[in-house]
């Protein structure tokens, strides 16, 4: 099979509203059941099952079983990056109604991008890390020695951060059109924010909001006062 055929096959997996909706929902980094995705996309469970079979066979999703329950999630961070990059090329459409507009504002303010933080919050953290010379964007995208110490003081395990994934990776933010921090360091910060109660999910979407404790922590750690 030629590269052109391979690319057409991959594009075909996303050339369906239901399958695309599933993939975008799974960008929240969590594992979902087929019934949850069916309800989210407003399709029948049998229809959801057919689409999930195609996404699993195509390598965009993987399934996980826990007891009698079956969950699906994005195959890896590279798939999440692909979806974010494609989303960045979409032409913005006006929101339909107050509910959609409110949801859009919340997503733009702060959200998860698979396993790291995005939106204005993610970009603000990336900018603050760079301004404090903890993150260096001049020659690639990586943490400085001071930045590695900062991560360790925040509770990061240096060994756990060193995986096949990059420690720091530039991820184009589709709402801000600027870079936010991905990689294992970005995932660590997102997990730390969640575990410390500094962010809370907004409903079942990818949007998150800073808690009062989170606002205090951002100011203390990185000098960020408001978004």
Banded model confidence at residue 159, pLDDT cuts 50, 70, 90: confident
Confidence (pLDDT) at 107? 83
Residue 140 backbone dihedrals phi, psi, to 5 degrees: 90, -145
pLDDT in tens, 126-143: 999 999 999 999 888 899
Residue 119 has pLDDT above 60, yes or no: yes
Q: Of residues 108 and 211, which shows the higher confidence score?
A: 211
| 109-137 average pLDDT score | 93
Residue 1 has pLDDT above 80, yes or no: no
| 51-71 average pLDDT score | 91
3 state DSSP class of 54: helix
Q: Give the containing element (helix H, strand E) for 53.
A: helix 45-57
| 174-203 average pLDDT score | 92
Tell me the pTM.
Answer: 0.75
pLDDT in tens, 64-98: 888 788 899 999 888 988 888 888 776 666 556 65
Residue 114 has pLDDT above 80, yes or no: yes
Confidence (pLDDT) at 102? 60
Confidence (pLDDT) at 87? 81
Q: What structural domains does the chain harbor?
A: 3-75 (1.10.10.10), 87-222 (no CATH)
Confidence (pLDDT) at 52? 96
**What is the share, in percent, of the chain residues with pLDDT greater than 90?**
58
Tokens for 215?
A: 């606002």
Residue 108 has pLDDT above 60, yes or no: yes
Confidence (pLDDT) at 100? 56
Q: Of residues 209 and 29, which shows the higher confidence score?
A: 209
Residues 6+ apart with CB under 8 A from 110: 117, 118, 119, 120, 121, 122, 199, 207, 208, 209, 210, 227
What whole-number distance in Å separates Cα of residue 14 and Cα of residue 3?
Answer: 17
Banded model confidence at residue 103, pLDDT cuts 50, 70, 90: low
What whole-number distance in Å separates Cα of residue 162 and Cα of residue 27?
Answer: 23
Tell me the Cα Rg of the chain: 18
Residue 123 has pLDDT above 60, yes or no: yes
């Amino acid at each position: 099979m030629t590269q052109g055929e391979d690319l057409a096959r991959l594009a075909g997996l996303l050339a369906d509203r239901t399958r695309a909706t599933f993939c975008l929902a799974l960008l929240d980094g969590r594992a979902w059941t087929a019934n949850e995705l069916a309800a989210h996309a407003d399709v029948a469970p049998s229809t959801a099952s057919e689409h999930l079979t195609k996404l699993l066979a195509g390598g965009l999703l993987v399934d996980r079983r826990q007891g009698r329950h079956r969950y699906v999630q994005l195959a890896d961070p590279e798939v999440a990056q692909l979806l974010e990059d494609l989303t960045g090329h979409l032409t913005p459409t006006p929101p339909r109604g107050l509910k959609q507009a409110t949801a859009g504002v919340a997503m733009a303010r702060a959200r998860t991008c698979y396993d790291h933080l995005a939106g204005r919050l993610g970009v603000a953290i990336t900018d603050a890390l760079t301004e404090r010379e903890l993150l260096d964007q001049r020659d690639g995208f990586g943490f400085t020695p001071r930045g590695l110490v900062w991560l360790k003081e925040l509770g990061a395990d240096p060994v756990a951060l060193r995986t096949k994934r990059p420690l720091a990776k530039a991820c184009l933010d589709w709402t801000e059109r600027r870079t936010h921090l991905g990689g294992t360091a970005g995932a660590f910060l997102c997990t730390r924010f969640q575990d410390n109660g500094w962010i809370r999910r907004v409903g079942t979407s990818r949007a998150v909001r800073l808690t009062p404790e989170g606002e205090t922590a951002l100011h203390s750690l990185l000098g960020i006062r408001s978004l």
